[in-house]
Amino acid sequence: MSIVMILKLFGSLALLMYGMKVMSEGLQKMAGPQLRHVLGAMTTNRFTGLLTGAFVTAAVQSSTATTVMTVSFVNAGLLSLAQAISVIMGANIGTTLTAWIMGAANNFNMGDLVYPTFVLGIILIYSRSSGKKSAGEFVFGLCFLLLGLATLRTNAVDMDLGHNQDVLDFFAATGKWGIWSTLLFLLLGGILTMAVQSSAAVMAITMMLCSQGVLPIYQGIALVMGENIGTTITSNIAAMTGNSQARSAALAHLVFNVFGVIWVLCIFKFFVNTVCSLVGYDAVVASTDVTYAQENAHLLNYVLPTFHTAFNVCNVLILIWFIKPIETFVKRAFSAKGDEDEDFRLKFITGGILSTAELSIMEARKELNHYAERTQRMFGLVQELLHTEGIKDFAKLYARIEKYEGISDNMELEIANYLNNVSDGRLSSETKLKIRAMLREVSEIESIGDSCYKIAVSLNHKRQNQPKEDFTADQYRHIEQIMKMSDEALTAMSQVLKANTETNVMASFNKENELNAFRDRLKNLNLEDIDNGLYSYQTGIYYMDIVNECEKLGDYVINVVEARADKKEKKQ
């Protein structure tokens, strides 16, 4: 086998994998909001979830895309873990359509279909409509996939592996190892799929070898079983940066496929022979009669898809009744430990694993809401700091607030970078406006965190510089009152971020007006109290620093609300 043939083989696989990627991404761009709606609304029970997963995967031609989407929705709280498990089960059935397309594609000339379709794809891509451009990407991806299959088949014929005695001897020798042969090819299938991150590519290789009469059916089916395990690695990698629920959903995918492989191994020969008989292929005769195997090798283009479908359908029929036990098992594996708020980690943004702007913006919006909630918890620590007495307790709480300030800065940077990466893609004008507004929200929420920290700094400076002079009872009462008003403003802001209604927006503006009026009253009162000698001028400065910062916090809240409510004016 020459170097040129090997390179042509890898090139064919690269073309096939690229086609799968472009086709899947094109369809996701066309139907991003609809896919989210389908996955979110059509999973009311295990059976609708199963059908939804199968339908979406058959549509986008990628179980990886469906599984990663599902994991992201679990991470964002849009799907429960039980709903996600049923969708993942359906995705395993939907992905079998890819094998059937490959099997059918091996039986006619791709050039007759592919090259005319390229013309349609180029027309759509150069249209002005964003939807047509995405449709053009889908058509191009499909053409590349079919072209990759065609070149793979051509290369297989040129390589003539069916007459390569070394290759035939290897498969013949390993075929005599019994269960160890099955386990070897099972392992190879898993490793190859994990390496190339595409079960479709490994399936194409398996079909090529089997249909050329090189790879015996038992070893070929063992490779397919390994592919089912190897393909779960993508969703598990995607879930590593997610929360415990997302990691549990990805683990459920692995559990599902591993369980299926285990029970099929227990009845391997019987199951394979039964599947082969459905297609009219006698696996027992083929294992001993080389002539029969070579003459009927073309049937293996249908045996492998039939096995893939039977394997996943039977596995679903068994496990669909055990979703609750599976959910319990995977939850225990990733039980939450400790306080996640004490460490910097984004909760909903998962490293850009989604390829569509619609789904990416959904993640970023959830993260923004979480960012606002975390900032309000930081303000709660500041309120607690006001009445902390002991030196050690004060220092410990102040250190926590400092840590929150660092977390706030990091979150702003990460969310902003994520949004900038999303904006690099081809977006509609409406989506660009959304990203622009969200970038403003991120900046203003970070400013709220800065105000919280500045209040803590003022309290710390007063304790260090004036240890013998405390605020008066009236000052404490006024600080508590304006802090309460600021906290109410933060609560109203969170409600706007979660549900942008006119009532919530007006509540935020009302709180801001109250804060302004109360700040002005306290400012005048502070000057009178200093003149009357109720406390020193320096104490008055610390006091008004806290009051002014609470009022500034209210300004930043209004800026966030305006950005979310698509207001044009900016609060100064």
The helix (run of H) or strand (run of E) holding residue 311 is: helix 300-319
Instruction: State which amino acid sits at residue 124.
Output: L
**Which residue reads 């809401």 in tokens?**
369
Please give the pLDDT value at position 164. Answer: 58
- Cα(203)–Cα(189) distance, integer angstroms: 9
Average pLDDT per consecutive 10 residues, the chain (572 residues; last block may be shorter): 73 76 69 58 70 74 67 66 83 81 66 76 78 79 76 66 60 74 86 74 77 79 86 71 70 88 90 87 78 76 86 90 87 59 58 55 83 92 90 90 87 86 72 86 93 94 87 93 93 82 73 91 92 91 94 92 65 41
**Coil, helix or strand at residue 241:** coil
For the four alpha carbons of 533, 538, 541 and 545, in that order, the dihedral sign comes to negative
Provide the CA 132 distance to its chain's centre, in angstroms. Answer: 26
Please give the pLDDT value at position 39. Answer: 57
For the record, the structure tokens of 157 come out as 């014929």
The string of DSSP letters for 95-159 reads: THHHHHHHHHHTTS-THHHHHHHHHHHHHHHTSS-HHHHHHHHHHHHHHHHHHHHHHHHHHHHHH
Please give the pLDDT value at position 193. Answer: 79
Q: Which domains does the chain have, with CATH numbers?
A: 3-333 (no CATH), 356-564 (1.20.58.220)
Q: Which residues 6+ apart lie within 8 Å of 512 measured at CB?
A: 489, 554, 555, 557, 558, 571
**Coil, helix or strand at residue 478:** helix
Closest CA to 351 of 567, 71, 141: 71
Is there a contact between 243 and 75 (Cβ–Cβ < 8 Å)?
yes
Please give the pLDDT value at position 44. Answer: 64
Please give the pLDDT value at position 203. Answer: 79
Please give the angle made by the CA atoms of 235, 241 and 245, to the nearest 5 degrees.
70
- Cα(250)–Cα(353) distance, integer angstroms: 14
351 phi-psi bin (left φ>0, alpha ψ -120 to 50, beta other) = left
Tell me the backbone φ, ψ of residue 343, rounded to 5 degrees: -125, 150
Buried b (16+ CB within 10 A) or exposed e, 256-273: bbeebbeebeeebeebbb
Please give the pLDDT value at position 502. Answer: 55
Buried b (16+ CB within 10 A) or exposed e, 339-366: eebeeeebbbbbeebbbbbbbbbbbbbb
Is there a contact between 224 and 53 (Cβ–Cβ < 8 Å)?
no
The helix (run of H) or strand (run of E) holding residue 464 is: helix 429-465
369 CB neighbour count, 10 Å cutoff: 17
**Which residue reads 């995918």 in tokens?**
253
